[in-house]
Structure 1
């Protein structure tokens, strides 16, 4: 059947302006193409043919599918007839048991496994329906060469009870006629020598079977046989240069520099640790796009035996150490926990060593070190330090992050999206860490580590204490003002009130920026109060302190979480993942609102805990709906548990902390529960101030989060 197509509607060719480049068209009519004339392609007859008084031969399709008539090189014909293809399809369907395909594959696996156990040094083949498996044991080859010329051929009997019809008329000699492509590929195919070329033999070519094997079954398909090379005794001979390679060169050995457990630990980090950073599940979160991608690239390069830069090695080792710590927490036996704990400590030490070499390279200015890579490495080391339970290392790492950001990050006139993502991650960790860091701030380090960002930058830019920033006007009015782009990017610790449209906290952490700003401001005001109580002096007098406290109290009380999903009407076209992330964001904001009030009244006013029981129960109710164990969740649970006075409420919080510590496997949750129990013990003894800030100061304890 010859296929032809002629458009019905005329579409005259548009006239191109003079001086334009000459275009070449392949859609001209047959007459103009034969005359090598420029066809204007007017339908149904071109104007060139009309002017010349010729018959326009229309616009025929030159690619024709035809199984009968010969059209020379313009034809493309099927290799097999319709009856042949129909019988081959029926043979494939009949060869497979109508039962579940998985049952057939399981039987095939079991057959192969039993034969391998029975004879480890013999070749065998097994086949069920169209599924085949085989193993060939070659003699010891010469170094560098694997010969495939001496493969024995054993004809295979049919595998079906009912034999399909044989003797199909394939008419291969007609298929090869006047077709250069098929003649090139299959021109030397001996059709006469094939004899009765049935569909059974077409799908299953004979494969070697070891001597003495007590069974005979068909081998895999013809395509599998071609991959092994042509057989010397087979009548099917192919002369294509792509299929007749006499030998294969063995690949040279490559030294794998990656640790043996690296793929497993990287998988643990990606699937078990990354969800602890944020309740928002997205493929574009910074840990997937920056942290995990860097570690996967390093793993690939180490597997290929390449040398990796110190910065990438620091990221890679820190991520593996975090995965090992998480695996230690999830271990069911002591021996397994000790094994993964030893690996985690060794990888953490290695990560610290690589980071020191990377910072020395950055200070020498000889080697170019990327700003993002150093910041990623510092954030990864922070996570490792939190898993180790070292509060001092967590604090030091956050200060190093600030030094690096102030020295290399903030001076950038234009900050990329990845840079801003990393800045958001640092500020998020720093704000929650400073909110519960009530220990007196010591003087700046006199002897700075030469391999720290402080030494690289030339001065210690970070300060332990969050101090107040002077700004004019009422806080509630300033909160509604719009920040300039440079103000929003460079407001590192959320000191300036106002709205920043390009904030990434909702997309990364599921939190709007206002509660983080209020948390930062309450922490600063509380630090001023502590300095004044310690006699260190504060720039605020009593009236200024009172005005600032009243402003913050009104803003916290007036702030409301975003409306639940389905109320605003903006989520009509959202998919299931967006709806789930929006639901988690609402839950997190609902949890933070009473926790902010608890934090304000305890840190700024230090009121009696009996007045705060309603807020503690609100946090309890919100925690019952929160499935994720992230830094804001642990922070809110800690504040509410410390203020709980009812024994039943205390017991509920204790069970929550124990379940959360077992679920996430990070030591910071168990550490927070230890502090909570100390506060409860002080409340029962009724000795002195039983507030959590006082207990942390007296015991010299600092909390940390991931």
Structure 2
């Protein structure tokens, strides 16, 4: 008994360890060894020098009623291997694997809910169900079926070893009267499928399954995320092979007659249209394919929008589709992205309906962000830190696209307060650091176009809240964009070469402290080195020091509370000379492969090295010239006639980018900020026309009004210059102070999360 139990135990262990296969070659199966099923011959046969028997006989059947002869019959494939592969590829591309069971369950539900009408057809993807009609008995077909199952000559010929294609043809011929594509027991789509397969021998032509080519119509297919509803070529399914779509097959005309007419406007069919917007899928797809090109000049798939924002929005769509409850942070990001995409689509198509939908989604996003901020600082927390920060950054972008500068500033301040109170005192993951970099990058470009408004009520309120919380000690920069109290301003080069610690590099939020921080993410996200952003921050701070001194000299007592601590002239000049020297010595990224290799897309970058690196080089050159223009006008107030060479250089960089890749809207913050700063100083009418044309082209391609709004602001500056006797001294900052513009300039920080 003990020996028997031991044998059973060993047998169970062998059974769990050995993976038996019924698909080996004939030689390996005969020798009872494991076959790797390699083609055209397996490795085991090659190793032992045997002739591989092949895979003709896949499954064997030992018929119990075959009499004494014990005839062994085997099943042959109905179609050739190439045909079966094409059909398998089509099925895999028709429905995402994660959604197959969900679609089948949806079909069961639809069938249960179907009426008792005789004509019921339910189709989701390649699967379908229909109500079968019992046909009248057909005696003439029965003998053929019986013969085919016993001693049909055609079957016997196939058993004797003829090719599978011959056996298939004979099978069709022998059952011509029974297995017809017009069989009433088959659904219309199945009839078309049979007719398409039998009538075309060269290529499998599968009629489009109803609701497949617009798979996004079915909300059941969206539970696994938006990638399940996108073509496989755009997701992760077929990275190594050609993508399959309806264009890969030629459908017979009789098959096309039963196809449903799918409307041009893709909508999301759901039982509760108040929960899932009908236009969510096309809007989010447009956001992921078009709007995202405005975020960064880099084309790899490891940007914060690919890693964080788009998956976050997909999750919201899937959860809403399945009827789940989402917090206000998720809904803010979701409706904010829908609003941005709708505004873009409305501009591209010149359709007011999309504009109206964008306004409706924007209003819903505002309602949710208001409710989110009421509970953002509660303990225990209601929403995750990343979700709240993504919601705030989305609202920043939305307000910029709407041209509302006041709202943009308020959302920036809310994001700053949230980061300083909840983000700087915690351990920062890579994803959190990505979000912080997105905020700072946009905030600096936004702040560069702001007058010295540190005494505005909302800014004072944010400073007071942060200081009273006791968490300001975690911030390694000032709360009011003031210059750092450095002792080595005479040797800024030495200070810039020092390496920052991890804590200093992460908590120097607005880049106040000079130094190098190797783990920075700016090159990976935006293609811009951190020292460039640091010099922009120092120039902004020095400009505010200058305005403080001017306001104090002019007797303005309502300025910043620290305006009495203005810099002496000598200290101001020392700092200005140090920053000027560093700007003129800026060098591009030495190893641009780091932009891609650290993101895991180095191989992908090699495929697009030419255009991507040309765009990156031109953007960096444009930023460098624009930063110099900004410094000389903001700090030294140099006459614009002395800056025309740099203005022309920025124009040339923009048009070289257009020539390198005319299909992409190069509207990220690095481009539009550089274009704005240079265009405002352009004196030559021909150069002004070039900048005007660039903004108009970007507005047409993106559909977003912030390009045209910014151009309107530039036109005002040009008109002011032409109308004033000394118009060359007029700057964009002068015009902003004069008119208190509430739109146009809010789109300068064009790139947002």
Please give the per-residue CA displacement for 1:507-530, whole angstroms capped at 9, x wherever unaligned. 111111111111111110011001
Please give the per-residue CA displacement for 1:339-374, whole angstroms capped at 9, x wherever unaligned. 222211111111111122222233443553100000
Query: Are 2:181 and 1:168 equivalent residues in the alignment?
Result: no
Deviation at 1:662, TM superposition (A): 2.2
Aligned to 1:384: 398
Residue number among 413, 418, 424 corresponding to 1:410 in the alignment: 424
Aligned to 2:504: 487
Aligned to 2:74: 79
Query: Are 2:635 and 1:621 equivalent residues in the alignment?
Result: no
Aligned to 1:553: 580
Query: Are 2:437 and 1:424 equivalent residues in the alignment?
Result: yes
Aligned to 2:315: 297
CA distance in 2, matches of 1:620, 1:167: 81
Aligned to 1:501: 518
Aligned to 1:662: 700
Deviation at 1:673, TM superposition (A): 1.7
Aligned to 2:118: 139
Aligned to 1:601: 632
Aligned to 2:453: 440
Aligned to 2:145: none
Aligned ranges for residues 100-499 of structure 1 at < 5 Å? Answer: 139=118, 148=132, 150-151=134-135, 167-170=153-156, 198-201=171-174, 205-206=179-180, 209=183, 255=272, 257-332=275-350, 336-337=351-352, 339-365=353-379, 368-412=382-426, 414-445=427-458, 465-473=480-488, 474-499=491-516
Q: Which has the higher helix share?
A: 2
CA distance in 2, matches of 1:88, 1:281: 42
CA distance in 1, matches of 2:134, 2:655: 71
Aligned to 2:677: 639
CA distance in 2, matches of 1:572, 1:345: 41
Residues 327 and 320 of structure 1, relative CA distance in 2, 3 Å threshold: same
Structure 2: state its 5+ residue gaps. 1-9, 19-47, 64-71, 85-89, 91-115, 122-128, 142-151, 162-166, 186-190, 199-205, 207-269, 553-562, 659-665
Which shows bigger deviation, 377-386 or 636-645? 636-645
Aligned to 1:691: 731
Deviation at 1:67, TM superposition (A): 6.5
Contact persistence 2:133–2:184 (CA under 8 A): no
Deviation at 1:305, TM superposition (A): 2.6
Contact persistence 2:500–2:517 (CA under 8 A): yes
Deviation at 1:612, TM superposition (A): 1.0
* 3-state SS of paired residue (1:359): helix
Aligned to 1:3: none
* 3-state SS of paired residue (1:79): strand
Aligned to 2:740: 700
Please give the per-residue CA displacement for 1:618-677, whole angstroms capped at 9, x wherever unaligned. 111111112311112111111111211122222222222222222223232222222222
Which shows bigger deviation, 586-595 or 653-662? 653-662
* 3-state SS of paired residue (1:296): helix
Residues 642 and 71 of structure 1, relative CA distance in 2, 3 Å threshold: closer
Deviation at 1:687, TM superposition (A): 4.4
* 3-state SS of paired residue (2:567): coil
Contact persistence 2:699–2:708 (CA under 8 A): yes
CA distance in 1, matches of 2:569, 2:459: 34
CA distance in 2, matches of 1:647, 1:518: 31
Aligned to 2:262: none
Residues 455 and 258 of structure 1, relative CA distance in 2, 3 Å threshold: farther
Contact persistence 1:434–1:466 (CA under 8 A): no
Contact persistence 1:265–1:324 (CA under 8 A): yes
Contact persistence 2:452–2:544 (CA under 8 A): no
Contact persistence 1:269–1:319 (CA under 8 A): yes
Deviation at 1:683, TM superposition (A): 2.0
Contact persistence 2:420–2:471 (CA under 8 A): no
Residues 312 and 647 of structure 1, relative CA distance in 2, 3 Å threshold: same
Residues 491 and 475 of structure 1, relative CA distance in 2, 3 Å threshold: same
Contact persistence 1:280–1:509 (CA under 8 A): yes
* 3-state SS of paired residue (2:407): helix
CA distance in 2, matches of 1:477, 1:78: 86
Residues 307 and 682 of structure 1, relative CA distance in 2, 3 Å threshold: same
Contact persistence 1:404–1:454 (CA under 8 A): no
Give the TM-score normalised by structure 1: 0.66
CA distance in 2, matches of 1:483, 1:457: 26
Deviation at 1:594, TM superposition (A): 1.2
CA distance in 1, matches of 2:179, 2:75: 19
CA distance in 1, matches of 2:80, 2:544: 80
Aligned to 2:232: none
Contact persistence 2:548–2:566 (CA under 8 A): no
Please give the per-residue CA displacement for 1:432-480, whole angstroms capped at 9, x wherever unaligned. 011111253334339969xx99899799999884211122322111111
Residues 529 and 266 of structure 1, relative CA distance in 2, 3 Å threshold: same
Contact persistence 1:295–1:316 (CA under 8 A): yes
Contact persistence 2:447–2:540 (CA under 8 A): yes
Deviation at 1:201, TM superposition (A): 5.0
Give the TM-score normalised by structure 2: 0.62
Q: CA RMSD in A?
A: 4.7
Structure 1: state its 5+ residue gaps. 1-20, 29-57, 94-101, 103-136, 157-165, 176-193, 225-252
CA distance in 2, matches of 1:456, 1:508: 34
Contact persistence 1:595–1:639 (CA under 8 A): yes
Structure 1 or 2, whichever has the larger Rg, is 1
